[in-house]
Chains A and B, each alone.
Chain A
């Protein structure tokens, strides 16, 4: 059970009303609304190592992770960081060396083969290279997991129709995978993974083999499914863009450990760990900024600050008004106005000219008006 501050949550998602994440209640300490959220997946002290030519090669070094019902959880890391091993441990395609994998209250590592096979039907998975049956048509591929579950022909027919409609491939039912584009293949993969009404969808680098435009359409589909069906999604990726577009929370994995985790906004607006900072730089051009800051600082007697806007404030002229009122001259060294999932945010690096004392006052005013300001 994890408590999510309702204010934070509403800020994060205007769609909270019909996302079934938990129920709203008052905490004992009554001061704020909280969502009570059940963890759907819990990884405890997960270790995994491989034996290669007599040597032990560690891949995961004690992962603790808790993923809530209905959220989209992203795991980002460089190749070789262990993210692929981690996601494969969730449905036991890789058996962890030690540790627990609890999905919906059941520790998978304790199940025998047939129980595990049954449980896996509740955990859908899509792959980087789609992994469709090349000898089967689109319809047959989607029907495949239903066939494995011994459903009746009529039932399968009906379900396949629904699923193909959901992913927008009704017209391609009788085609073979080799006749489809990458994006279409991944849509088949998604339809197939959803066939048995899973509780979780695991995405193993699901967009890494796709071009940017197709990536976006697949991400939009995943987000749509998450909202329509309340499906929990766990994804791994090496692209910041993927995390920023659809994830609620993120874990950064490096060297087989989760080095930083939390709400996507918090982690990426204030990255702590060097690896996280690197990923943020992917989209923020920070190296350019560092040069600019160094250049301006050398000129002396200037204050450089990073101003962060969140939500509605992003589009209000708070910065301009404040500067005008205090008569501060400023220039913008770098700026981003964007959104993380549904939350607009802005981050401007500004340089204030003039008296340092005066600048401190200006910064104080900005803070009072609800902006976050960090002096660099």
Chain B
């Protein structure tokens, strides 16, 4: 094995990193935009909650479970026609975002549901006793009270998305994963593989410690 990094084209690495970050940024954004309301709806319609609706909950829960049980790499391939409809292509950074969001949003929704469940029932009851409407309870009680849990959930989801973005390299998604597969795996250029892995590792470390710090800041218990 050769440690001279002779195969590493740094400009391509930089491009790959930027692609990965772009995918990560957009997919995290859309995952939150879709997953957060979905998680809130799951929570509110579950048993004993404000908008208890067993039929709706059972259906929503079933759909979420299906999306979560399909391995991401297969989901990605299955979704190719859908992706083409949504963004016009199934390739590159753009083509990777829809499957990333569809794969991660149900996962994030479950995390949201779990952290909302952690909110003290008594506090919700107190808000009701003060004449709060359901909207007011969501905005002024549920979301602020579960903020540390939600931030932790976003961190976990973002880290999961990092590995998903790498996987999307398999179907030509671009980014560091794409580099690792094309150079590191298919051309046996181990040095490229190692560099991409290190960059991904550093990225995950940064995201996790940033998330942990925010959780600490929001925790008041």
Residues in chain A within 8 A of chain B (CB atoms)? 91, 93, 113-114, 116-121, 123-125, 127, 129, 131-136, 144-145, 147-149, 176-178, 192, 196, 202
Bound form: Cα–Cα A145–B130 in Å: 6
Measured between beta carbons, the chain B residues less than 8 angstroms from A192 are 130
**Cβ–Cβ contact B220 & A117, under 8 A:** no
Measured between beta carbons, the chain B residues less than 8 angstroms from A125 are 126, 129-130
**Cβ–Cβ contact A117 & B123, under 8 A:** no
4 closest A-B pairs by beta carbon, nearest first, are A120-B131, A131-B126, A131-B122, A117-B131
Return B51 CB to nearest CB of chain A, in Å.
12
Chain B 113-131: CB-based contact to A (< 8 A → 1; otherwise 0): 0000000101101111111
**Cβ–Cβ contact B131 & A118, under 8 A:** yes
Bound form: Cα–Cα A133–B147 in Å: 12
**Cβ–Cβ contact B130 & A135, under 8 A:** no
Bound form: Cα–Cα A176–B120 in Å: 16
**Cβ–Cβ contact A134 & B145, under 8 A:** yes
**Cβ–Cβ contact A144 & B130, under 8 A:** yes
Return B216 CB to nearest CB of chain A, in Å.
14
Return A362 CB to nearest CB of chain B, in Å.
56
Show 26 residue pairs from A and B whose CB-CB distance is below 8 angstroms, ordered by the A residue.
A93-B129, A116-B131, A117-B131, A118-B131, A120-B128, A120-B131, A124-B129, A127-B122, A131-B123, A131-B125, A131-B126, A132-B123, A132-B126, A133-B123, A133-B141, A134-B145, A134-B220, A135-B145, A135-B147, A144-B127, A145-B130, A145-B131, A148-B132, A177-B220, A196-B130, A202-B129
Give the residue of B131, B144, B220 whose beta carbon is less than 8 angstroms from that of A119. Answer: B131
Bound form: Cα–Cα A123–B136 in Å: 18
Measured between beta carbons, the chain A residues less than 8 angstroms from B187 are none
B64-123, CB < 8 A from A: 120, 122-123
Chain B 122-157: CB-based contact to A (< 8 A → 1; otherwise 0): 110111111111001000110011010000000000
Number of interface residues of B (CB under 8 A): 21
Measured between beta carbons, the chain B residues less than 8 angstroms from A114 are 133
Number of A-B residue pairs with CB-CB distance less than 8 Å in the complex they form: 71
**Cβ–Cβ contact B125 & A93, under 8 A:** yes
**Cβ–Cβ contact A133 & B145, under 8 A:** yes
| Closest chain B residue to A118, Cβ basis | B131
**Cβ–Cβ contact A136 & B221, under 8 A:** no
**Cβ–Cβ contact A117 & B144, under 8 A:** no
Return A92 CB to nearest CB of chain B, in Å.
9
Given the known inter-chain contacts A144-B140, A147-B140, A148-B136, please indicate yes or no for A135 contacting B129, CB distance below 8 A: no
10 new A-B contacts, CB < 8 A, other than A113-B133, A134-B120, A134-B145, are A93-B129, A118-B131, A124-B129, A124-B130, A132-B126, A135-B144, A147-B140, A148-B140, A149-B131, A196-B131
Q: Is the CB of B56 closer than 8 A to any CB of chain A?
A: no
Q: Is the CB of B218 closer than 8 A to any CB of chain A?
A: yes
Return B206 CB to nearest CB of chain A, in Å.
26
Measured between beta carbons, the chain A residues less than 8 angstroms from B220 are 134-135, 176-178
**Cβ–Cβ contact B131 & A135, under 8 A:** no
Measured between beta carbons, the chain A residues less than 8 angstroms from B131 are 116-121, 145, 148-149, 196
Measured between beta carbons, the chain A residues less than 8 angstroms from B128 are 93, 120
B186-221, CB < 8 A from A: 218, 220-221
Measured between beta carbons, the chain B residues less than 8 angstroms from A196 are 130-131
Measured between beta carbons, the chain A residues less than 8 angstroms from B221 are 134, 178
Bound form: Cα–Cα A132–B129 in Å: 13
Return B53 CB to nearest CB of chain A, in Å.
16
**Cβ–Cβ contact B140 & A120, under 8 A:** no
Measured between beta carbons, the chain B residues less than 8 angstroms from A144 are 127, 130, 140
Bound form: Cα–Cα A133–B129 in Å: 14
Bound form: Cα–Cα A2–B125 in Å: 33
